[in-house]
Structure 1
Amino acid sequence: NISLVAGKSGYQYSNHSNSFVFARIVDDIISLNEYDIVLVDTGAGLNEYVKEFLSISNNILAVTTTDPSALTDLYALIKMLSKDKEQLMLCFNHTKNHQIGNTISNSLINLAKKNRLNDNFMVKYIGNVSTSANISTTGRLRKLFSYEFKNDDSTKQL
């Protein structure tokens, strides 16, 4: 059972750095206690809003692309999370195949070990979502991809 709550990335909260506003956002999310999982798109980068939000999260799933700038952001996230968290789940979006994500994940893990990040921190690669021409089609039409293309490989991977 999945519900979609559409929203924008975290930029709308960036002007509200005080604790009261953030506490209100957290309270609103906690009130969704009927859900086992709540996915929040924080957007790219590690601003104070994202850092604070991650600090209260039990499980963190990073969905990113294999673009070099996205990988730089991802490594910064790994460095930050390795200080206080036990694990980061990782999924690559818009890939050609599962092996690409697996190879990049292993490279990031090796880089973290080389730079002596927390040995107990684990990056768990959980899979990928392949590129599909249908994704841009539904974006232009403002339709929900997984609803319009139920049999597309990308939908099945989700």
Structure 2
Amino acid sequence: MSPSRPVQVIAVTGGKGGVGKSNISVNLGIALAEMRRRVVLMDADLGLANIDVLLGLKADKNLSDVLSGQCSLNDIMVTGPAGIKVVPASSGMQQMASLGPQEHGALINAFSELDNQLDVLIVDTAAGITDTVVSFVRAAQEVLVVVCDEPSSITDAYALIKLLNTEYDLFRFRVVANMTRTAQEGQQLYNKLNMVCERFLDVSLQYVGNVPFDENVRKSVQRQKALLEYAPSCKAAQAIRGIAEKVDQWPLPRAARGHLEFFVERLLQTANAGY
């Protein structure tokens, strides 16, 4: 058997609700799948799972069924547009800190089964700066922070970056400006966040791009279709495809960090450390 190709694990986060993070996660995943990348999208919003709702998918089982040994990870994944696979959110993940060694092993084995079946794992985190959000973000290799033009969005994004930098030594963050009126507005949003981060933190921020405000986004949500499926040539869809092309150029993790076991082990370590 050929050695596993390193898997890119990307956490999409925002520090607050309402910034369009889940829409970015879903459509970025679809755009990468259109580029022939094998994509798994993990809904990590344990309180308000919404990926299946956004895509009009019906999930009968979730991760807690895998942990209880009732089925494999392959059994619970549902197929979305462009062939992306969705791991439905599970309230069982909230008990990560109290999992026994057997359940730890089950979770790691469940993900390692997928090693040769995917290129990118996108983790759509919950809103806010909860312990669970921090766990998922710390376990990922790339952190994509979504911001929009609201004072609280910049404030909360900064608070999340500050916590991850000062408490957990994360220093590299990618930034997407969402729902912008102009490309210039997106750049200004990034500049604002970068200025305060440079002043007070030891971090490296990289601007990935902006997604313009587009009425098609709201319409696609109402119809429970992904934007790239509902209005594939609209401005927001084109912008997301441009971002996907940049994401596809990000360096792959070194083999030692590149297996899904690393992601899950790190996730369990952070859970058991209280985060």
Helix, strand or coil: the match of 1:60? Answer: strand
CA distance 1:111–1:126, change in 2 (3 Å) = same
Structure 1 residue 72 corresponds to structure 2 residue 72: no
Percentage of pairs with the same residue:
23
Which residue of the other structure, out of 215, 226, 229, is the alignment partner of 1:147?
Answer: 229
Give a deviation string over 1:10-68, Cα, whole Å, max 9, x none. Answer: 32468425152895666655544332221111122111111111111111111232222
Distance 1:135 1:87 in 2: 29
Could you tell which deviates more after superposition, 99-108 or 13-22? 13-22
Taking only aligned residues, the RMSD between alpha carbons, in angstroms, comes to 2.6
Residue 46 (structure 2) aligns with: 10
Could you tell which deviates more after superposition, 32-41 or 21-30? 21-30
CA distance 1:99–1:157, change in 2 (3 Å) = same
In the alignment, structure 1 segments of 5+ residues that lack a partner are none
CA distance 1:76–1:87, change in 2 (3 Å) = same
Runs of 4+ in 1 over 3 A off after TM superposition: 3-8, 12-15, 21-32
Structure 1 residue 127 corresponds to structure 2 residue 200: no
Number of equivalenced pairs: 155
Give a deviation string over 1:99-156, Cα, whole Å, max 9, x none. Answer: 21211211222212322x11xx211010011111111111111122111211101101
Decide whether the 8 Å contact of 2:164 with 2:170 is kept in 1.
yes
Residue 50 (structure 1) aligns with: 133
Distance 2:92 2:155 in 1: 23
| Rg (Cα) greater in structure | 2
CA distance 1:66–1:45, change in 2 (3 Å) = same
Distance 1:105 1:27 in 2: 39
Which residue of the other structure, out of 167, 172, 176, is the alignment partner of 1:87?
Answer: 172
Distance 2:109 2:156 in 1: 28
Helix, strand or coil: the match of 1:41? Answer: strand
- The letter of the residue matching 1:155 is A
Q: TM-score, normalised by structure 1?
A: 0.82
Which residue of the other structure, out of 97, 100, 108, is the alignment partner of 2:182?
Answer: 97
